Structure 1
Amino acid sequence: MSGTTLLTILGAAIDNDLKEAIAVAQTVDAHLSVVAMGVAPSPPIGEVGAAAALTSVWLETRAAEEQALTARAEQLEGLLAADSVKGDVSDAYVEAGIIADEVGRRGRCADAIFIGPSLRKDPVLGSSVLEAALFETGVPVVVAPAGSPPDLGCERIVVAWNSSFESARALHAAIGLLPKVRHVHIAMVDPKASETDGGEEPGADIAAYLARKGYDVSVDRLAGMGLAPEAVLTRHASDVAAGMLVMGAYSHSRLRQRIFGGVTRSMLESPPLPLLLAH
Structure 2
Amino acid sequence: MQNATITVVLGVDARPNQLEALAREAQTRGAHLIVLLLSETPAVPVYSMGVGELSTYSLPAGWQADVDAAREAVEKQRAEFSLYLTDQGASADVRAVCGDASALRNTVARAGLTCDAVLIGTDLREDKRLFEDIVHAALFESAAPVLLNTAQAKVALTRNRSSSHGKRAFPPRERPAPLCQSCAMRGRLPWRFSTRSRSRPMTGKTPVPMSPLG
Which of the five TM-score ranges fits, normalised by the shorter chain?
0.5 to 0.7
Q: Which residue of 2 aligns with 1:33?
A: 34
Rounded to whole Å, the distance in 2 between the matches of 1:93 and 1:22 is 24
Instruction: Indicate if the aligned counterparts of 2:26 and 2:32 stay in contact, CA closer than 8 A.
Output: yes
Output aligned runs, 1:216-231, within 5 Å. none
Query: In the alignment, is residue 160 of structure 1 matched against residue 161 of structure 2?
Result: no
Task: Let me know the Cα RMSD of the aligned residues.
Answer: 2.9
The alpha carbon displacement at 1:104 in A equals 0.8
2: CA distance, partners of 1:31 / 1:20:
14
In structure 2, the partner of 1:7 is: 7
Relative CO higher for 1 or 2, CA cutoff 8 Å, sep ≥ 6? 2
Equivalent AA in structure 2 for residue 88 of structure 1: D
CA 1:34 to 1:8, structure 2 compared with 1: closer, same or farther past 3 Å? same
Q: Which residue of 1 aligns with 2:131?
A: 126
Q: How far is the alpha carbon of 1:53 from its aligned partner? A: 6.3
2:210 aligns with: none
Residues in 2 aligned to 1:106 and 1:139: alpha-carbon distance in whole angstroms: 9
1:118 offset after TM fit, Å?
A: 1.7
Q: Amino acid of the residue matched to residue 131 of structure 2? A: G
Give the TM-score of the pair, scaled to structure 2. Answer: 0.64
Distance (Å, rounded) in 2 between the aligned partners of 1:141 and 1:111: 9
Measure, in 2, the Cα distance between the counterparts of 1:93 and 1:37. Answer: 6
Q: CA 1:139–1:155 in 2, change beyond 3 Å: closer, same or farther?
A: closer
Match of 1:103 among 77, 93, 108: 108
Note if contact 2:6-2:119 (Cα within 8 Å) is conserved in structure 1: yes
**Residue in 2 that maps onto 1:265:** none
Alpha-carbon distance in 2 for matches of 1:30, 1:93: 26
Q: Which of 150, 153, 171 is the matching residue for 1:149? A: 153
Q: State whether structure 2 residue 172 is matched by structure 1 residue 172.
A: yes
Taking structure 1 as reference, are residues 155 and 29 closer, same or farther at Cα in structure 2, changes over 3 Å only? same
* 2:69 alignment partner in structure 1: 64
Equivalent pairs, count: 164
Tell me which residue corresponds to 2:145: 140
* Larger Cα-atom Rg: 2
Q: After the TM superposition, which of the residue ranges 150-159 and 57-66 deviates more from structure 2? A: 150-159
The equivalent residue for 2:45 is 44
Aligned-pair identity in percent equals: 26
TM-score (norm 1): 0.51
| Unpaired stretches in structure 2, ≥5 consecutive residues | 51-56, 174-214
